[in-house]
Amino acid sequence: MDRMKIIKRRLSMSLRSARPVDDSLSELAEQMALDETPGARENGIVHENVKMGSDGESDQASGTSSDEVQSPVRVRMRNNHHRRISNEDINKRLSLPADIRLPEGYLEKFAMNSPPFDKPMSRRLRRASLSEIGFGKLETYIKLDKLGEGTYATVFKGRSKLTDNLVALKEIRLEHEEGAPCTAIREVSLLKDLKHANIVTLHDIIHTDKCLTLVFEYLEKDLKQYMDDCGNIMSVNNVKIFLYQLLRGLAYCHRRKVLHRDLKPQNLLISEKGELKLADFGLARAKSVPTKTYSNEVVTLWYRPPDVLLGSTEYSTPIDMWGVGCIFYEMITGRPLFPGSTVEDELHLIFRVLGTPTEKTWPGMPTSEEFKTYNFPLYRAEPLVNHAPRIDSDGHDLLSKLLQFDAKKRVSAEDALKHSYFRSLGEQVQTLPDTASIFSVKGIQLQKDPGKRSSVHPESTQGKSRRQSVLF
């Protein structure tokens, strides 16, 4: 009893002092070990200078099973065994890319400061380790060319000193009164948890007083630039590969209740190999359950579904599927499907092609007040194949399922991936790990686009390429 009173008194004195709690608790644990009687050690009770981690837990208790904690011999052996740590060990420990360049002498420092590899690493120590390597610092990246500028951000091409790879630096200006724009906060919070081969990778975040810099993997062009480069005449094989990758990245997002809400060719990046990656998650939202009410001022006009155009704010994953249909059509034909200039103009273009909604095609909408205010003429639906002659019957069926008026009837990204249109890609693409590229499957590769001009004889081949496009 007297010993317990002493311990309580020491603990209360430690907590009242101005010293850090971690230090006080560590000292208390050491003192308790010194106060132990020899008999206690003989009975197998061992306290080996228990140190508190930065998260407030002891290194000994954290991340080990009960039998490991109770086995003093095994604990001693692990603590006394000096394992040689390699770059690969650190990369795995800190979730770093394989090609990272660690600072000189960092291996030895990490080996001394890091807890044993069979125990978890505290959040504070991980942050400190990343900072020592160079993450979160502007001087780690060399700014090269300016790629573009928007309302809130400027994007630069850059190079990472850590990997020597090209990166995209998105500098978001911070206002003292308003702080970081909500679009930047959304983009960071969502992308840090989205790890997929068809979603752009966020490498680093740098926060200074004047700006927030997001460091992304660098990709040469977006889908709009790709289509421009091939004269808007793409190989139907390439259309299929791009569409599958778009659906694959989107299915991953939708499984995690993330809505992109701004799908368009400019937000789909293309690598030199042909990998398509979803980018610009500034308008994306994590959909809560039950459904929340969202803004209807989302999605670029040409790719916005009719239910949102007519004012709907209660939407879910089908909001993205309409945009997929529009992008599919644009890739196969080389022109946008519904290039409206206003909301009313956009609706007119949609109804001219797909027909004015009726109770049969869109139950409840023809009698709604939002719909009746426009007083649309009665347009008759036209077969989509009339507008996209290069599309085959399977492609036409998939396009029709994507462009459904009623959001509930639109095919999901998950189901679209299993559509017969993609049968020619083989069964292996259906079982790829999330982080694996579609090009890791044997036999899948891009073909030369019929509209792409030859760099040797650009003029002589132009007409021939355009005539041959009907064969693709």
Q: Is there a binding annotation on residue 292? A: no
pLDDT, residue 311, reads 85
Q: What is the pLDDT of residue 54?
A: 34
Two tokens at 448?
């030369």
Stated length of the chain: 472
Alpha helices in 426-471 (DSSP H): 462-468
What is residue 314's predicted lDDT score, i.e. its pLDDT? Answer: 73
The Cα–Cα gap between 279 and 205 comes to: 16
Q: Which of 269, 266, 275, 264 is nearest to 327 (CA)?
A: 264
Please state the domain extents for the chain. 2-121, 142-217, 221-440
Say if residues 254 and 320 touch (Cβ distance below 8 Å): yes
Rounded to the nearest 5 percent, the helix, strand and coil shares of the chain are: 45, 10, 45
Closest CA to 291 of 312, 270, 267, 262: 312
Helices (H) and strands (E) in the chain, counts: 18, 10
Which of 280, 242, 275, 240 has its CA nearest to residue 261?
280
Q: Judge whether 132 and 106 are in contact, CB under 8 Å.
A: yes
How far apart CA 235 and CA 390 sit, in angstroms, is 10
> Which is the catalytic residue, given 35, 89, 164, 262?
262
Please name the residues in contact with 417: beta carbons below 8 A apart, sequence gap of 6 or more: 244, 247, 248, 251, 430
Closest to 296 measured CA to CA, from 346, 362, 356, 331? 346
Active site residue 262: yes
Q: How far apart are CA 247 and CA 443, in angstroms?
A: 20
Q: What is the pLDDT of residues 150-207, one digit of tens each?
A: 777 889 999 998 888 899 999 988 875 566 677 777 777 777 788 999 999 888 888 8
Evaluate whether 350 touches 365 at the Cβ level (below 8 Å).
Answer: no
**Close Cβ partners of 445 (under 8 Å, ≥ 6 residues apart):** 274, 439
For domain 142-217, the CATH class is: alpha beta
Predicted TM-score (pTM) of the model is 0.71
CB atoms within 10 A of CB 34: 8
Query: Which pLDDT tens digit goes with each residue over 30-79?
Result: 443 444 444 444 444 333 344 433 333 333 333 333 333 343 444 444 44
For 221-440, CATH number out of 3.40.190.90, 1.10.510.10, 2.40.33.10, 2.40.50.140 equals 1.10.510.10
Residues of the chain with pLDDT under 50: 11, 14-81, 288-296, 455-472
